[in-house]
Structure 1
Amino acid sequence: MKLAVCGSIATDHLMTYDGRFAESLVPEELDKISVSFLVDDLQVRRGGIAPNVCFGMAQLGHHPLLVGAVGEDFAAYRSWLERHGVSCEHVHVSQMLHTARFVVTTDRDMAQIASFYAGAMSEARTIELGPIVDSVGGLDLVLISPDDPQAMLRHSAECRTRGLPFAADPSQQLNVMDGESIRRLVDGATYLFTNDYEATLTERRTGWDAQEVMRRVGTRVITRGKDGVSVLGSDAEPIHVPAVLDVHPVDPTGVGDGFRAGFLSGLAWGLGHERCAQLGAVLASYVLETVGTQEYDMSADAFLDRFERTYGTDAVAEVAPHLGSDG
């Protein structure tokens, strides 16, 4: 399966706060908020949604195409990704701007306060999918994840024009895109990825109720944290997959990206949606237990053991023959 992953490419600055943000927030004074948190740790890590997804898929044996925009400071990061099986041939390099930066502080409740500097990401709107399609002989699926909003709209419009199946993943950009833009991004998607909060926000921003969203997309995938994952299809019974057992959370940054990597890997192997969601949940659990979005260590045996503990022998029997193979 030939899959392109479009989205942000960034460096992550990850900090931890040994307290609770909620204890420093006064609800009736939020219009005058001015707070500072003394953090305990700083980790500078490779990040960005698109390479996080690509890295996760590569850990499961795939070779996805990374599509996004970076600065000239990307050289070392490119080398890391290519060593781990990610194709960076179609990454646009800006001559003027730095690679994007994500700065986030996480408190003891796993709540987060974050900022994002777009930098070179703003040039992603210049990327055309057509030459990529021609160079690789076609694409089976395009994931359109958070990126420059104009780039996201360009990619979805081009997918519709070219008849390319695509998955819409608006997530963080729901806060900056208006209703019309979100409708243009989502309409016609084969898959729509959100968490449960973003699912509600999508409906509110678009003005579409849940039924209308389902009429506009093929399959809706909603992650619900400790409550698992729901997969909803207009012509299929709803699927609910529980969260992975015995996970020891360290940092939630990139967990959703890990889930998408696992889910898309299952699709590439031709597995059903339940197995895809289970794969996503297991891979996400590795990210949750690690500081950094691409720092987890995962052997095939350990992955399958964790998979079987939560989802059983029948489920793992379907997954095991594929692990480490390229779909």
Structure 2
Amino acid sequence: MRIAVTGSIATDHLMAFQGRFTDQLLTGSLEKVSLSFLAEELEIRRGGVAANIAVGLGRLGLAPLLVGAAGSDFADYQLWLKQNGVDTDSVTVSTTRHTARFVCTTDSEQNQIATFYTGAMSEAREIGLRPLIGRVGRLDMVVVAPNDPAAMLRHTQECIALGIPFAADPSQQLAHLGRSDVRELLDHPQLLFTNEYESVLLQERTGWTEQQVLGRTDVWVTTLGADGVRIRRAGRRPVTVPAVTGVPAVDPTGVGDAFRAGFLAGRAWHTSAERAAQLGCALATFALETVGTQEYTLDRTTLLERVRHAYGPGASDDLAVPLLGDGEDAAHGSAAGDGG
């Protein structure tokens, strides 16, 4: 099954300042600020929503196609992605900009000063899906993840024009999109991903009620943090899938992206939406217990054991063949599955 994941590719530069920012802010002198903080720790992590999702899919054997824009500094990151089963041949590499970058300093009281450099991501609007289809053939699913807003709209329009099922994942870009743009992104996606806050913001941005949103998508998946996941479909009662417990919460960054990878893999294997959510919750624990969005090591046997422990032998039996066999061999046809 061919899943293309469009969206951001980025690196995070995270620094720690052992003091307090507020100690260096002088009352009455805030009109002109020139401050410098000595950081004793630096972590450089690979990230970006699309890249995070693609890595999860790659580790599950789905061979995803990553579509986005990166900078001239992308070579090492590209090698990493390929080593994790991600097709990067449709990533546009800018000749003038660096890969998008998040630079953040955190003080001893967890206050943060951060800057996001969009960099090459601004060129994603120039990427079309037709060349990708010409290279690999028809796509079974396109994930429209947070990206340059014009790129998100373009990919949505292309999916509709080409008849390709797509998943809408506007996420953090919701706050920066106008009503008409958000409505356009919700032009009948097969899947809609939000977290709990975004599900409310989505309705505010569109001016639509929950039922109106449900009338425009097959499945609306909302992550609830430690409370698990809620699955909503028009005309049916919501289903809540509890989170997998008993795993240390080391770093929550990227947990939602890992969940999406597991959910998409489950649908590619034609499981029900509930079973796909269970797989997503289990995969998310690997990101949760590891520092960095892509640094976790996936052991499929352990993943299956976590599914069994949290959801019972029926769930693990349903996922045993695709997980312990070749995930790609198990993924035939469309991601539509049984609609369950």
- 1:229-240 paired onto structure 2 within 5 Å: 229-240=229-240
Identify if the C-alpha distance between structure 1 residues 309 and 20 changes in structure 2 by more than 3 Å, giving closer, same or farther.
farther
Q: Which moved more, 1:218-227 or 1:304-313?
A: 304-313
Deviation at 1:110, TM superposition (A): 9.1
CA distance in 2, matches of 1:68, 1:113: 27
| Structure 2 equivalent of residue 253 of structure 1 | 253
Q: Please, what TM-score do these two structures have when normalized by structure 2?
A: 0.87
Identify if the C-alpha distance between structure 1 residues 37 and 172 changes in structure 2 by more than 3 Å, giving closer, same or farther.
farther
- 1:130-152, Cα deviation, whole Å (9 max, x unpaired): 12122211011100000000000
CA distance in 1, matches of 2:250, 2:107: 11
| Structure 2 equivalent of residue 160 of structure 1 | 160
Identify if the C-alpha distance between structure 1 residues 110 and 266 changes in structure 2 by more than 3 Å, giving closer, same or farther.
farther
Query: Per the alignment, in what secondary structure is the counterpart of residue 12 of structure 1?
Result: strand
| Structure 2 equivalent of residue 202 of structure 1 | 202
Deviation at 1:102, TM superposition (A): 2.0
CA distance in 2, matches of 1:223, 1:112: 25
Deviation at 1:55, TM superposition (A): 0.5
- 1:225-265, Cα deviation, whole Å (9 max, x unpaired): 01110111114432210011112111111111101100001
Identify if the C-alpha distance between structure 1 residues 142 and 112 changes in structure 2 by more than 3 Å, giving closer, same or farther.
farther
Identity %: 52
Q: Please, what TM-score do these two structures have when normalized by structure 1?
A: 0.90
Query: Per the alignment, in what secondary structure is the counterpart of residue 322 of structure 1?
Result: helix
CA distance in 2, matches of 1:178, 1:117: 22
Deviation at 1:311, TM superposition (A): 1.0
| Structure 2 equivalent of residue 127 of structure 1 | 127
| Structure 2 equivalent of residue 27 of structure 1 | none
Q: Which moved more, 1:184-193 or 1:3-12?
A: 184-193
Alignment partner of 1:322 is 2:325: no
| Structure 2 equivalent of residue 85 of structure 1 | 85
Amino acid of the structure 2 residue aligned with 1:317: D
| Structure 2 equivalent of residue 45 of structure 1 | 45
Q: Which runs of 4+ in 1 moved over 6 A?
A: 17-21, 34-40, 106-113
| Structure 1 equivalent of residue 27 of structure 2 | none
Q: Contact (CA 8 Å) 1:17, 1:108: kept in 2 or not? A: yes
Identify if the C-alpha distance between structure 1 residues 39 and 232 changes in structure 2 by more than 3 Å, giving closer, same or farther.
farther
CA distance in 2, matches of 1:179, 1:105: 33
| Structure 1 equivalent of residue 172 of structure 2 | 172
Let me know the Cα RMSD of the aligned residues.
Answer: 2.6
| Structure 2 equivalent of residue 4 of structure 1 | 4
CA distance in 1, matches of 2:247, 2:317: 22
Query: Per the alignment, in what secondary structure is the counterpart of residue 147 of structure 2?
Result: coil
Identify if the C-alpha distance between structure 1 residues 230 and 37 changes in structure 2 by more than 3 Å, giving closer, same or farther.
farther
Deviation at 1:325, TM superposition (A): 1.9
Identify if the C-alpha distance between structure 1 residues 144 and 312 changes in structure 2 by more than 3 Å, giving closer, same or farther.
same
Q: Which moved more, 1:56-65 or 1:12-21?
A: 12-21
CA distance in 1, matches of 2:174, 2:113: 16
| Structure 2 equivalent of residue 227 of structure 1 | 227
CA distance in 2, matches of 1:43, 1:234: 44
| Structure 2 equivalent of residue 76 of structure 1 | 76
CA distance in 2, matches of 1:262, 1:112: 31
CA distance in 2, matches of 1:271, 1:133: 26
Amino acid of the structure 2 residue aligned with 1:157: Q
Identify if the C-alpha distance between structure 1 residues 320 and 289 changes in structure 2 by more than 3 Å, giving closer, same or farther.
same
**Which of the two has higher C-alpha Rg?**
2
Structure 1 unaligned segments of length 5 or more: list them: 25-31
- 1:23-64, Cα deviation, whole Å (9 max, x unpaired): 99xxxxxxx9x9999877431011111111010011111100
| Structure 1 equivalent of residue 298 of structure 2 | 298
Identify if the C-alpha distance between structure 1 residues 212 and 227 changes in structure 2 by more than 3 Å, giving closer, same or farther.
same
Query: Per the alignment, in what secondary structure is the counterpart of residue 164 of structure 1?
Result: coil
